A and B are shown apart, each in its own frame.
Chain A
Amino acid sequence: MHSIPGRRLIMGLFLVFLLLPIYWLVNMSFKTNAEIVSTMTLWPHTPTLQHYKRIFTDESWYSGYINSLEYVVLNTIISISVALPAAYAFSRYRFLGDKHLFFWLLSNRMAPAAVYALPFFNLYSAIGLFDTPWAVALAHCIFNVPLAVWILEGFVSGVPREIDETAFLDGYSFPRFFIKILVPLIASGIGVAAFFCFMFSWVELLLARTLTSVQAKPIAAIMTRTVSAAGMDWGLLAAAGVLTIIPGALVIWFVRNYIARGFALGRV
């Protein structure tokens, strides 16, 4: 009922606008460099897998994906596990300074990463975490933990309070209630929050690049560095780009019904 005239045309045009640049990247990743530079072809005339092969066989390339996934997963686990109890507290109780704390969390979600790049570099160097996945995972907590709290709070508030009360009357202890009853009830919310933590940690580059040098270098940093050092290897750059899109496209499938609600911070 909520559509407008010409909606198919508008939607179609917009989707083409979204997909065209991505198509161009995919197209380019299957071309040889000679073809890219010499002619303008709408699809690969001499399709090749050489760029992908290079990425999957050269350790300096594929280790970047492993490093990235490592800190992304670490960050998601940390964010969700600390955010869950807090989301419950914000949803159910009023306590000293709760509103200020909530605002403070929000303000950290909005803080520009550029502000923190240098102090993080100092901090993590000082405690010996520099160039480890832990440094990036902890640094990304600054925007992912508040986000997770926000999303989960929305979902916890959707669980009727009577359920808590009944469980406590039945003699459940708080931790047992939390794990046995609450967590299964908001499983979809946890999935959405995990998805958003994954996503924002995956797409961030500035902090990830600043906090690593050799051992834990993320794929995004490898893309910018290697390419500028070895001249412009367009095909390889495109192939690396395509491979960074895939994890996002995979996880999106699982949360497709909740995406919109998650982007609204659980507040639609």
Chain B
Amino acid sequence: MDKTVNQKAWFLVLPVFLVVAFSAVLPLMTVVNYSMQDTFGNNQFFWNGVGWFKELLDPSTDLGGRFLASLGRNLFFSMVILAIEVPLGIVVALSMPREGWTVAACLIILALPLLIPWNVVGTIWQIFGRPDIGLLGYVLNAIGIDYNYVSNEVDAWVTVIVMDVWHWTSLVALLCYAGLKSIPDAYYQAAQIDGASRWAVFKAIQLPKMNRVLLIAVLLRFMDSFMIYTEPFVVTGGGPGNSTTFVSIELVKIALGQFDLGKAAALSLVYNLIILIVCWVFYTVMTNAGVERKVQASSEPAAEPKPSAALKPVPALKPKEGVA
């Protein structure tokens, strides 16, 4: 479907542009303004040029050290949760029931953690993990594991990661499930005729079909985990020490805690820039995938007759329309 060129379409987009520009461009200009200045309170500002940026990227200074440390922690956190959530989400999506009321029940339970306010997610795990009143902490300590997320760094990390897996694996699973459902039954039937193994079906049919949604899942999860704030803040408050202080927590500490506007603004800009780059990669890959899909779709009718012709002699396999 080719789009027609119509500059009047701008009138339709204008409301969105105004609303988002009001919320995005104006505040961002404030940030740029602050990032170049220093303040001694009383609303007196002094020109500081790129001073904050230099300090920010130099690990020997206090600001730079804190920023780079939290950035490192944040990247490590994102990698770990991606390594857990993506495979687990695929497995869960493959384990979804085929039909009946259990499908709806599973979908609703899966979506439940996604709809809980983030601070309540923190509260749930804060309570759940406490050795004195929480089931998890109590059981772990009862079977002889010395677990305390308030004082032990490793335990704090494990808690934050398990919490994120609990909170967001469902997103990956739901996306994969949507991808799996778009696979026509004929593909599976053809595979069965060829005597393909379970693993071969996964590798040759399911994984390629899930490519696109998996991409969305990975990038959404990367970016959301990269700006995580509320949940670890509620559970560990960034501690013990600074061990679970991620970039957003550090930024809020500097901006709203110490009211160090210049430093906070410089950090914000660098932070935003990183997100913007990742976002650009995401967007480019997505639009390319969209083009590929269109090409695929237009070439599909030619390829289609083969599997369906091969199917005819097998009446035992009836297509399950009810699944979709």
23 CB contacts below 8 A, A to B, read A2-B181, A3-B95, A20-B128, A22-B112, A28-B127, A86-B15, A93-B3, A93-B9, A95-B13, A96-B7, A102-B283, A106-B282, A112-B229, A112-B248, A114-B255, A119-B30, A120-B23, A141-B23, A205-B118, A206-B248, A234-B133, A252-B108, A267-B290
User: Closest Cβ of chain A: how far from B94's Cβ, in Å?
Assistant: 5
Contacts of A85 in B (CB 8 A): 12-13, 15-16
In the A-B complex, the 8 residue pairs with the smallest Cβ-Cβ separation, listed nearest first, are: A248-B115, A119-B27, A260-B178, A112-B227, A7-B95, A89-B12, A93-B9, A114-B248
> Are B94 and A3 in contact (CB-based, < 8 A)?
yes
Which residue of A6, A18, A42, A223 is within 8 Å of B166 (Cβ)?
A: A18
> Are A210 and B117 in contact (CB-based, < 8 A)?
no
User: Closest Cβ of chain A: how far from B84's Cβ, in Å?
Assistant: 12
Interface size class of B (residues with CB under 8 A): 35 or more
Known contacts A89-B9, A114-B252; A264/B16 CB under 8 A: no
Question: Interface code A248-261, partner B: CB below 8 Å = 1, 0 otherwise?
Answer: 11011100110111
> Are A4 and B113 in contact (CB-based, < 8 A)?
no
Q: How far is the CA of A104 from the CA of B178 in the complex (A)?
A: 27
Contacts of B255 in A (CB 8 A): 114, 117-118
Contacts of B275 in A (CB 8 A): 107, 110-112
Contacts of B124 in A (CB 8 A): 21-22, 24-25, 241
Q: How far is the CA of A94 from the CA of B3 in the complex (A)?
A: 6
> Are B132 and A37 in contact (CB-based, < 8 A)?
yes
Known contacts A10-B95, A199-B115, A241-B123; A263/B223 CB under 8 A: no
Contacts of A101 in B (CB 8 A): 13, 17
Interface residues of A (CB under 8 A from B): 1-8, 10-11, 14-15, 17-22, 24-25, 28, 36-37, 40, 42, 78, 81-83, 85-86, 88-90, 92-96, 98-99, 101-108, 110-120, 122-123, 138-139, 141-142, 145-146, 149, 157, 161, 199, 202-206, 210, 219-220, 223-224, 234, 237-238, 241, 244-245, 248-249, 251-253, 256-257, 259-261, 263-265, 267-268
Check: B140 CB closer than 8 A to any chain A CB.
no
User: Closest Cβ of chain B: how far from A166's Cβ, in Å?
Assistant: 16
Which residue of A15, A199, A244, A252 is within 8 Å of B120 (Cβ)?
A: A244
Contacts of A264 in B (CB 8 A): 175, 178-179, 213, 216
Contacts of B323 in A (CB 8 A): 1
Contacts of A82 in B (CB 8 A): 15-16, 19
Q: How far is the CA of A7 from the CA of B120 in the complex (A)?
A: 30
Check: B50 CB closer than 8 A to any chain A CB.
no
Check: B111 CB closer than 8 A to any chain A CB.
yes
Q: How far is the CA of A36 from the CA of B128 in the complex (A)?
A: 12
> Are A138 and B23 in contact (CB-based, < 8 A)?
yes
Check: B193 CB closer than 8 A to any chain A CB.
no
Q: Find the A residue at minimum CB distance from B230.
A: A205
Check: B185 CB closer than 8 A to any chain A CB.
yes
Contacts of B40 in A (CB 8 A): none
Label chain B's interface by main secondary structure.
Answer: helix
Check: B279 CB closer than 8 A to any chain A CB.
yes
> Are B178 and A111 in contact (CB-based, < 8 A)?
no
Most buried by B among A17, A116, A120: A116
> Are A220 and B117 in contact (CB-based, < 8 A)?
yes
Known contacts A145-B19, A267-B216; A21/B272 CB under 8 A: no
Which residue of A93, A99, A161, A260 is within 8 Å of B175 (Cβ)?
A: A260
Q: Find the A residue at minimum CB distance from B129.
A: A21
Check: B107 CB closer than 8 A to any chain A CB.
yes
Known contacts A11-B106, A18-B170; A119/B28 CB under 8 A: yes
Known contacts A10-B92, A21-B166, A244-B117; A116/B27 CB under 8 A: yes
Q: How far is the CA of A206 from the CA of B216 in the complex (A)?
A: 25
Q: How far is the CA of A85 from the CA of B17 in the complex (A)?
A: 11
Contacts of B16 in A (CB 8 A): 82-83, 85-86, 105, 145, 149
Check: B6 CB closer than 8 A to any chain A CB.
yes
Contacts of A8 in B (CB 8 A): 95, 97
Check: B234 CB closer than 8 A to any chain A CB.
yes
Q: How far is the CA of A96 from the CA of B7 in the complex (A)?
A: 7
Q: How far is the CA of A114 from the CA of B74 in the complex (A)?
A: 14
> Are A25 and B127 in contact (CB-based, < 8 A)?
yes
